[in-house]
Amino acid sequence: MARQYKLQTFTGKVGNEIYYIRNGKLCKRSCAKNYRMSKESRKASTEFGRASSLSAKLRKALLPYFLPAFDRMLHSRLTARLRAVSLSGPTNMNGKRNVTDGNIALLNGLELNNHVRFDQLLYVTCVTYIADDTVTIAIPPIDPNAHISMPKHAARAILSIAGVSVSLEGHDDDAFCIDEIIIEKDKVFAGTEVSFYLPDKGKRLVAIMLCIYFEQPFRNTFLRIEDKRYQAGIFTGATIL
């Protein structure tokens, strides 16, 4: 509806034209034409919506284990990666594809901190194996002086391993802390393997998140260093069970 302010001065829509005030002057423009998505665009939009919903579920479940440096743009980057998983599925299923139809391994390597890569803080590779109902994370020997970019005021590095199980059948989602490994500044870590049992809860997406952060001494305890340059995370394993 048009609104008149002064004599012959109003704002709003009249027919196919829109009147508005800018810098004290009455302006006019034509109404935009109605946009109708093509059939292929509707299919792409449907698949993108599925990826976005799954991204939100993953983030919500893992939120208790996220570091402060994991920014708000993570949802967009995670959605894009899950969309890439769907796109790797059969082309004859266009519009109906889900992550279960594509290569879920494409989720591996997604950086969780947009400011610093995981391999900029830890120079060795940790390998994740997911077989049947068991997750195993192999962490090689680590020399803090050679394999970690540790801040000068840090006393130790923390490797945090967490996982998430997102139901693809409408059941509850679970996130779990698998382990936290402390690596002292002046001690060589001998390496280890960490295993975790996955309960059977129907068809689901399982992803493993590996994070690194640092702590500095404070009185009789330790405090996490909140500088975003010294916090990183990565998806190191993903599968559909």
The DSSP string of 31-57 is PPPPP---HHHHHHHHHHHHHHHHHHH
The per-residue pLDDT of the chain, averaged, comes to 88
> H or E element: which one contains 12?
strand 9-14
What is the helix, strand, coil percentage profile of the chain, to 5? 25, 40, 35
Q: What is the pLDDT of residue 1?
A: 47
pLDDT of residue 94: 84
Q: How far apart are CA 186 and CA 89, in angstroms?
A: 48
Least confident among 36-45, 141-150, 184-193, 223-232: 36-45
pLDDT(5) > 80: no
* Reported confidence tier of residue 9, pLDDT bands at 50, 70, 90: low
Q: What is the Cβ-side half-sphere exposure of residue 202, based on CA atoms within 13 angstroms?
A: 9
**Residue extents of the structural domains in the chain:** 1-35, 39-240
* Mean pLDDT along residues 100-124: 94
In this prediction, residues 86-112 reach a mean pLDDT of 90
pLDDT of residue 73: 84
Asked whether residue 82 carries a pLDDT value surpassing 80, the answer given is yes
Task: Look at residues 67, 102, 87, 99 and name the one whose alpha carbon lies nearest to residue 233.
Answer: 67
pLDDT one-digit tens code per residue, 54-69: 999 999 999 999 999 9
Segment 21-26 mean pLDDT: 78
Q: Which of 80-84, 96-100, 110-114 has the lowest mean pLDDT?
A: 96-100
Tens digits of residue pLDDT in 122-162:
999 999 998 878 899 999 999 999 999 999 999 999 999 99
Note whether 165 and 205 are within 8 A (CB).
Answer: yes
